[in-house]
Amino acid sequence: MKIRIMIYVVIIAASILFYFGRSIWKPYALKLHGYKTTEDIYQSIGQKIETAIKPKFITANAPYPPNHLTIIALKQERLLEIWTHNKNNTPVLIDTYKFTAFSGTIGPKLQAGDLQIPEGLYKIEYLNPNSSLHLSMKISYPNQFDKKMARFDNRTNLGGDIFIHGKFFTIGCIPIGDRNIEKLFILAYRVGIKNIDVIIAPYDMRIKKEPVQNSNIVWLHDKYMRIKNALQKYTIN
């Protein structure tokens, strides 16, 4: 029994060190294995990934590489949708990826350490080919709306470092597994991060009504209406 407990403790400690101690061990790992660029990743796996994803664009009558992508994250459904426009300029769903883990609850991110996945309309700031979580893409949280509402609430320390990434655990980010982050990473590389929009919704507002809201967050209805309006063009007929 004692040995089993010790094994559990070691596993938990190693997991904590891996996730929270990245600033300590990651620089040494990169020195050992070398820094990679996004171009390195494309040269390494691009052909394999594109062979797998191009047929989805052909089926959707959409150009490849696409001119634009919209990434829709549905928290309650724990699902990531990838949309583009077909040759008739109609939005089409290209792929869906399941979250491999989840933290927090339904509702917006308010401060650092609350484990919440943000909700709102965002962009991709950069691609990280040297992520300790295989590959990752940084989301532009907090955006201007988040910062404005924080000033309204007198909140500080809003947190940050929110990523879509690989692996199967998270503390406020969106993990989709290594295979799927490879697909999304290559897509993002080909389309260009300036041409990617990210919508993170508490649930699929295209088919569900807005629930009773937290009365302590007076601006939440405004945020949710912005999200709902952004989602309306991305519907499956």
Q: How confident is the model at residue 5, as a pLDDT?
A: 62
Place 202 in a pLDDT band, splitting at 50, 70 and 90: very high
Between 23 and 5, where is the model more confident?
A: 5
The DSSP result for 114-165, as a single string, is: S-PPP-EEEEEEEEETT-TTSSEEEE--S-HHHHHHHHHHT--------EEE
pLDDT greater than 90 at residue 63: yes
- Residue 22, pLDDT score: 54
Instruction: Please tell me the predicted confidence (pLDDT) of residue 119.
Output: 98
Per-residue pLDDT tens for 162-200?
999 999 999 999 999 999 999 999 999 999 999 999 999
Lowest mean pLDDT among 22-36, 56-70, 129-143, 184-198: 22-36
Res 78 pLDDT > 60: yes
pLDDT band at 32 (very low <50, low <70, confident <90, very high): low
d(CA 187, CA 145): 28
Average pLDDT, the chain: 90
Contacts of 67 (CB under 8 A, 6+ apart): 84, 85, 191, 195
Tokens (6 digits) for 200: 């993170």
Q: Which two tokens stand for residue 96?
A: 């869906």
CA dist 118 and 110 (Å) reads 8
Q: Torsion-angle region of residue 207: left (phi > 0), alpha (psi -120 to 50) or beta?
A: alpha
What three-state secondary structure class fits 66? coil
What confidence tier does 25 reach under pLDDT thresholds 50, 70, 90?
A: very low
Residues 6+ apart with CB under 8 A from 216: none
Question: What is the crossing angle of helices 2-20 and 22-33, to 10°?
Answer: 80
pLDDT on residue 100: 98
Name the strand (E) or helix (H) holding 227: helix 220-231
**Residue 35 φ then ψ, to 5°:** -75, 145
For the entire predicted model, the pTM comes to: 0.86
Residues 204-233 have a mean pLDDT of: 87
Instruction: State the distance between the two ends of the chain, measured CA to CA, in whole angstroms.
Output: 57
d(CA 119, CA 131): 23
Q: How many angstroms separate the CA atoms of 208 and 74, rounded?
A: 12
Least confident window among 154-158, 166-170, 215-219, 232-236: 215-219
68 or 23, greater pLDDT: 68
- How much is the average pLDDT of 3-15? 56
Decide which of 109 and 35 is more confident: 109
For the chain, list the strands marked E by DSSP: 69-74, 79-85, 91-98, 120-128, 136-139, 163-165, 174-175, 196-201
Range 24-231: architecture per CATH = Beta Barrel (2.40)
Query: What whole-number distance in Å separates Cα of residue 40 and Cα of residue 26?
Result: 19
Dmax over Cα atoms in the chain, in whole Å? Answer: 65
Q: What confidence score (pLDDT) does residue 110 get?
A: 98
- Domain layout of the chain by residue ranges: 24-231
For residue 173, the model assigns a pLDDT of: 98
**pLDDT at residue 168 in the model:** 96
Percent share of the chain, pLDDT over 90: 81
